[in-house]
Amino acid sequence: MLIKNPLSWQLKENQATPETIYKQRRDIVKKLGLAAAITPFTSNAQASLFDVFSAKKDPVAVMDPRQDLVGRPSSLSTSDLELTPEPKVLTYNNFYEFGSSKGQPAELAKGFETRPWTIEITGEVAKSVTLDIDDVMKNMMIEERIYRHRCVEAWSMNVPWLGFTLASLLKLVKPTSKAKYVAFETLYDPKKMPGQASYSLGGGIDYPYVEGLTIEEAMNPLTLMTVGLYGKTLAPQNGAPLRLIVPWKYGFKGIKSIVKIHLLEQQPPTTWNLLAAEEYGFYANVNPNVDHPRWSQASERFIGEGSLFSSRRQKTLMFNGYGEQVASLYKNLDLTKNY
């Protein structure tokens, strides 16, 4: 008899999140019969998506930035922390395109239009393609994943994201053997993103914001292309309509409002590494043993119930607690030098 032991951070079948909204949503999924209907794409289905994604689209009306969104519950969810309250996830943000202080993005991103929206995937692939975000959301398997989120500023949250694996998206374009890295780029539109138009408001960043992963990191099952949170589509301040979530890395790796993905042979530049290489490395793995030059990373302020100022401190976990799943990616890498 084969007995499968779950990883320490995985959600066990008998562990239900206490949030009423998730119980309600799972009931909806059950009633609609969606759980049985959602299955991973076959190779033939993936091939057929090229025709769907490549078709020219007529302009569509601007969507409500937060529409209901149902995701299949995932066993890859974390299980040992309470959820950060939704209002805090929506108002405590780093998104310098809409201001460099925590409260500015929620205010300055109001009215940010995310339709129409396309994502270009180019580079070392069998076929470059431009995808419409609505086609992506209709054809990808959307999952609900509760992930720990750790900011390099030593605060953390526990967030219920909705999205699909980056691997499932990249498999559609068939990366070549030369594809060693995956680069990402945020929308550049200073008229819509005031932080891009103002040096002081935008924190002195040279826009557009860019990020990158190794191909092994990109293809890891935990790496999520995120389109929603808390049962709804992403709010503009959280990176609508599409952002990256890599839960074992510091939050600045989670590039927001993505419009371009480029696969390449050489390591790509990344925004914060360009701005201050001694403080923000390319890998940016959560590591309690490597301090930021200006503060310790040994512990973090967890943002949960109550006041932001009364948030409890907790020990920082190596790889943010996901070491069992990702440590093998770095077995020959000195994570002190390659921070």
**Which residues make up each annotated binding site for Mo-molybdopterin?**
93, 96-97, 151, 186, 238, 243, 254-256
Tokens of 24: 């309600």
Strand order through the sheet with 129-132: 129-132, 118-123, 258-264, 181-186, 210-214
**What is d(CA 313, CA 242) in angstroms, rounded to the nearest whole number?**
30
Question: Which residues, at least 6 apart from 189, have a Cβ–Cβ distance to it below 8 Å?
Answer: 196
Residue with tokens 């993936």, as numbered in its chain: 46
Residue 88 CA to residue 71 CA, distance in Å, equals 22
CA–CA separation, 37 and 34 (whole Å): 5
- In order of 6, 9, 14, the CA distances from 3 in angstroms are 10, 18, 16
Binding residues: 93, 96-97, 151, 186, 238, 243, 254-256
Residues 6 or more apart whose Cβ sits within 8 Å of residue 246:
213, 217, 222, 223, 224, 253, 254
3-state secondary structure of 28: helix
